[in-house]
Amino acid sequence: MEFENKVFLVTGGSRGLGKAIVKKLAQNGATVVFTYRSNKDAAQQVISELSSENKDSTGTVVAIQSDVSESESAVKAIDKVVDLFGKIDGLVNNAGITQDSPFYKMSDDSWNSVINTNLNGVFYLTKAYLGRAIRNGGGKIVNMSSVSGIKGLKGQANYCASKGGLIALTKSLAVEYARFNVQVNAVAPGYIATEMVESLADKVKQKISKTIPQQRLGKPQEIANVTSFLLSQQCNYMTGQTITIDGGLTA
Ligand code: NDP
């Protein structure tokens, strides 16, 4: 029970990578609060799945509706965790969206909503969390970036800018908050089999798989394993790093 007595907040935990992370942490004894934007049924499903899997050893899991792209809502989410459980040991900034289009056709709305969710959302949550972390004697933050933040991808100017921004933000916060015992790292997944990728046309998915040296999409659990390690006490001397998990895509 690596995470017994630990409390984590995971944004966007109702499906995909966030769901796998919530499960991994809870299965290791953590108390986990996760946010979702709109899909309450999916959030409830995560809790039901966990409680039917292993009641005795699984930590408490709570879902709250919160839009990361709204500053007030993000602050309330942090306050809610502290009200419920007295502290937060770690924050996983996972929630994210794509709105792809060729750059010359990209609307202001499309640009702004991706930046607001993927980058500003992390700013709001992290700002609200850091004060709590310092009072708690330290903390850990994992930001969900992407290989799109490392290499350019056609049709993803807004998404690439948001995920590249996250890598830079991760380094900056790591340096600024090291003296408060806060470690800040990022994960950069390649193509992982979640709704975000499954919604692509079969032809596109086949083409993608061919470009990956391991010739397959990643599994959400493979991202959850590394995220869990970054939140653990085994990882206290690593900060400001971005761990790429992509089957060799960027190698
Ligand atoms: P999904 O689309 O499957 O899930 C997204 C989650 O984020 C959902 O729980 C959703 O809640 C939540 N969410 C979206 N917008 C908001 C918001 N404004 N406020 C709060 N919650 C929100 O995404 P993935 O699991 O695939 O991706 C998770 C993260 O990993 C993202 O940051 C993504 O950019 C990144 N990533 C994913 C890759 C992949 O291949 N899948 C590759 C690289 C990075 P709801 O259902 O209620 O809307």
DSSP 219: P
Q: What pLDDT, on the 0 to 100 scale, is given for residue 149?
A: 98
Give nearest CA residue, ligand 1 atom 25. 16
Reply yes or no on domain 7-245 having CATH 3.40.50.10190: no
Give nearest CA residue, ligand 1 atom 39. 192
Burial 140-159 (b: 16+ CB within 10 A, else e): bbbbbbbbbbbeeeeebbbb
- Domain regions of the chain by residue span: 7-245
pLDDT, tens digit, 9 for 90 and up, residues 25-68: 999 999 999 999 999 999 999 999 998 886 666 789 999 999 99
Give me the residues of the chain with pLDDT under 50, please: none
CA 68 to ligand 1: nearest atom: 19
Q: What pLDDT, on the 0 to 100 scale, is given for residue 198?
A: 84
Residue 195 CB–ligand 1 contact under 6 Å: yes
Q: What pLDDT, on the 0 to 100 scale, is given for residue 55?
A: 65
Give nearest CA residue, ligand 1 atom 19. 67
**Candidate from 37, 64, 212, 244 with most ligand 1 atoms within 8 A of CB, to mutate:** 37
pLDDT, tens digit, 9 for 90 and up, residues 101-129: 999 999 999 999 999 999 999 999 999 99
| pTM for the model | 0.97
Instruction: Choose among 120, 8, 134: nearest CA to 73.
Output: 120
* CB-CB neighbours of 195 under 10 Å: 9
Q: What pLDDT, on the 0 to 100 scale, is given for residue 56?
A: 66
